[in-house]
Each structure stands twice: as C-alpha cells, then as structure tokens.
Chain A
Amino acid sequence: MKKTLITTTLATTLLASSLFAAIAPNTALAADYKVDVKGAHASVQFKIKHLGYSWLLGRFNTFDGNFSYDDKSPNNAKINIEIDTKSIDSNHAERDKHLKGKDFLNVSNFPKATFVSNSIKFSDDENAIVTGEFTLKGVTKTISFPVVKIGEGEDPWGGYRAGFSGTTHFKLADYGITYNLGPASTQVEMSLNIEGVRI
C-alpha cells in the first residue's frame, strides 16, 4: 500500500514535471522582439510593373511592429506590423503625392495599413508560411505568404536579434485601388525584411 502510494506520487510528480517541461519552453523561453525601426534594420518595400516594361520600386519609410519567435517552438511565432501609409516613398514627390491621394491609398482617410498573423507554420528550420489579416485602404483580407528566417544570435552590443524576410503579392483592386495603370500593373509585390531586437 505504502509502496503504491509512493509509486503514484512519483508517477504524478513525473507526469507533472514532464507536463511542465512541455509547456516551459513556450513560457520561459518565449522571445518577444521589437522590430528595429530605430536602427533601420527593417524595410517595407513594394514593387510594381511600369507599363509592363520595367519594375518600379518604392517603400514605406515609417512603420513599426513586434514579433515573437522561439526556435524551440517556431510554430507559436506571431507577428504584427503597422505601416504609416503617408510615408510612401517612390523617390518622386509628384508621384508620391498622387499615390497618397484618393486615386490610390487615400492616406487621409486610411492612415494605417496593418498585418497581424493568425498562424505561422514552419516546414523546416528556416521556411514558414505566414497567414494573417492584411488591412490596406480599409479593406481587410486574409493572406498567406512564405517567409524565410535569415538568422538569429547575439549582436556585438549586448542584445539579441532575429531576422526574417517575406514577400507577397496581391491585386490592387482587392483593396479598392482601381486606378488604371494598365494591364501589366494590376498586381503589386510587397516585401518585408525585418530584424527584431529581443525585449
């Protein structure tokens, strides 16, 4: 009887500690990162065909975000990014003015574009598919796109960093941008290259 009790206690303890061990990495080691916008080790870029003859590149200069990532449980990763739409910069003021206006982003009515992840599924150590809600010009849609983990580790100044890169493309018309740029320019490609500093 006594032996049984000890065994049961031991079993319970073992079970409890193994349960704890299973949960522990998610809580004790869960790492939150702040996107390093201050040091500008991150960018939000877009790319669209001009008339079908060349690529036009531009970017959003002001954005911010956070992500959490832990290589022990990568599928619990999360990310959210908020973009200030009026910071669009295609290196041409007259074009930027047009892009910020009603024909395109209508930034006075829609000052923010956001992306919030619902799930991140890693297929190996580096490659994952991110699914989440992308909001642009007041329209929210669920999008999925591949991301690649570039690397992580200590930086030379006492911090810890991790970086990712992802690219997606979508139809401008899906987000209410219907200005006619020609048949070759209905889709835009957006790339996010981010480095986060662990907080």
Chain B
Amino acid sequence: MSNSILKNTENSYGLIAIMFHWLMAISIFSLFGLGLYMVELTYYDAWYKGSLDLHKNIGITLFVALMLRIVWRVVNVTPKNADESASEIEKKAAHYAHLALYGLMVFLMISGYLISTADGRAIDVFGLLSIPALPLDFANQEDIAGIIHEVLAWTLILLSAGHALAALKHHFINKNDTLVRMVKVIPRK
C-alpha cells in the first residue's frame, strides 16, 4: 500500500481520513442510539449497568480517535472542494459546518466525561486503563454536564443528518464526486 492511498491529495481523501470518517460516523450514531436506549432501561434490566459501561468505553475510545483525526487533518493536505463551481456561501457553509461537527464532537465527549467523573471517580476503559477525574469540580456537575451532553448529542446528530443530506444532494442533484471521494480513494490523475 503506497503513501498515495493512505494520505490525502489535492483532489481526494486518503484511506486514513476515509476510515476515520466512517468508523467515527458509525460509532457516534451507535452511541446516540445506545444513549437514548440506556436511559430508558430500568433497574432490573440485565443491561442496566452494561449499557452505560459500553457507552463510556466507546466514548473514551472515540475521544482518542478524534484527537488522532484532528492531528491527521492538520498535518495532511485538505482536498480542494469537489465542486469548485459552488457558490462562495455554499463553500463557507460547508467549511463552518465541518468545523462545527468537530467542535460538537469534542464538547460532547468532554461533557460525557464530566458526568461520570463528577464525584471524582475514574472511568474504566474496557478494564484496561482508567481515566482519572479532573482535580476540580463544580456544583451539580453531573446535572449540568448531563443537560449539555444531551443537547450537544441532539445537535451533533441533526447537523450530521444535514451533512449527509448535503452529500446526497451533491451526488444526486449536482452529480459531482463529493460523496464518492469519501467512499473511495480516487487515484491521482
């Protein structure tokens, strides 16, 4: 596998960026579903505890992935817009929507971490390592962080849905390769 497949180019995303994108997309949507489901579970449901543990484990893993993804994005070339004929407003909107998606992911994960660590307890990740609480806390931390977590989660999901619809619009209406190049690496011309 040559470098040209792994890394981004002027007109294509590389395999690593594509993997980050889809693995995180699947994980985040799964976590959203799991989150909605687990808060409805009652005390005597067998998965009452396990669902929360899994949610936290995946969440922490995602945070690590997100940090790596951001580093990868910064050190890599950002491909040109797939449709250079798009209006400036459309390009700007796409750019800020992408930034917002990153920002939402960061704050969503931090708020989740703040719920579970509000009492100073560490988060155990798959029994392999434990992420300690911050040495500071604030009053009713678990409640405030909980509300923020819920609002950010819905915002992220709605914005992602808009992001997906925009991609479909580019594919089916504008008929450009915005979506295609996030699915496969387009070889250098």
Contact = CB atoms under 8 A, between A and B. Distances in A.
A173 to B, nearest CB: 15
Nearest to B146: A97
B44 A182 contact: yes
A93 B140 CA distance: 9
B115 A93 contact: yes
Nearest to B141: A93
Contacts of A93: 115-119, 121, 141-142
B87 interface: no
A180 B141 contact: no
Interface string B136-176: 00001111001000000000000000000000000000000
Contacts of A94: 52, 115-116, 118, 142
Nearest to B133: A93
Contacts of A14: none
A174 B94 CA distance: 55
A92 B43 contact: no
B2 interface: no
A181 B44 CA distance: 7
Interface in A78-136: 86, 91-94, 96-97, 100
- Most chain-A CB neighbours within 10 Å: which of B117, B119, B146? B119
Interface string A169-188: 00000000001111000000
A96 B119 CA distance: 10
Chain A to chain B: the 10 pairs with minimum beta-carbon distance, closest first: A93-B118, A93-B119, A93-B142, A97-B142, A181-B43, A97-B146, A180-B42, A92-B119, A97-B143, A180-B43
